Amino acid sequence: MTEMTKYPPGMFSWVELATSDWNAARDYYRSLFGWTANPMPMGPPDVPPYVMLERNGKEVGALYENKNIPPNWLSYVTVENVDDSAKKAKDLGAKALQEPFDVMDVGRMATIQDPQGARLALWQARKHIGARVRDEINTLCWNELMSTDVEASQKFYQSLFDWKLKITPGYTEVHVGEQPAGGLMQIGPEMHGMPSHWQPYFMVDDCDGMLRMAQSLGTREFFGPMDIEKVGRFAVLHDPQGAAFSLIAMNPSHGA
């Protein structure tokens, strides 16, 4: 198990699902990934809870109900100082969707929209570092930006997080120090006006088998599976409420 005790600044550390039906989403991901769900009350009994998602007792992400926005997975990046990073993001052309605020005593966060329109959360850890386990089967292993202008995204995020970028034709790898962490990709004209967005990848041992399971659980929209040369086999899918995420089975010779 790849247990985490701290995340370096610039690293993806958490993913959070906003969904239109928290009970249905909980059951779907619990069945698909074998996660357990730990609901945390957010007020009176009629207020939907904030649900911690766990694998072997270790937090891997969370979900909550919000019927006012399309279902989506939000990616979080750890920063040293949320206030400074949020100001820098705005100076670089981002919008502040949520100005920095304290999340009780567990951390401080802000939500931004980059100049191309993709949403991202900034996280300054206190009691909660983020995911306690990642980069293993049925946990987060990668975060990928689909961008309407990948060159502009490269400049924005390199300036904001000091990421090291490995740019190759068709794909940009994000490195935090020496650690691969995610990627940036241009949205092509064949993608029918898709907006810029960040999307999580969850590592699985059998991409085809997991996709079949997801279909049996209610997934109707998906792309793939497809092979990535020397890396693995992946699929992009939507859960029954419509939130997009990806599965990837890594080649034995390739780490996350």
Q: 60-86, pLDDT tens digit by residue?
A: 999 999 999 999 999 999 999 999 999
Predicted local confidence at residue 224, as pLDDT? 85
Predicted local confidence at residue 191, as pLDDT? 74
Predicted local confidence at residue 43, as pLDDT? 80
Predicted local confidence at residue 192, as pLDDT? 72
Give a yes or no: residue 214 inside a domain.
Answer: no
CA distance 138 to 122: 24
Give a yes or no: residue 227 inside a domain.
Answer: no
What are the b/e assignments for 176-209, b being 16+ CB within 10 Å?
Answer: beeeebbbbebbeeeeeeeebbbbbbbbbeebee
Predicted local confidence at residue 252, as pLDDT? 73
CA distance 33 to 217: 12
Domain count for the chain: 1
CA distance 65 to 48: 6
- What range defines the domain where residue 96 resides? 12-125
Predicted local confidence at residue 256, as pLDDT? 47
Q: Name residues of the chain where pLDDT drops below 50.
A: 1, 255-256
Beta bridge partners, 227, equal 233
CATH code, domain carrying 77: 3.10.180.10
Burial class (CB in 10 A: 0-12, 13-18, 19+), 155: middle
Give a yes or no: residue 21 inside a domain.
Answer: yes
* Lookup: tokens for 17: 């699902």
DSSP state, residue 70: -
Give a yes or no: residue 22 inside a domain.
Answer: yes
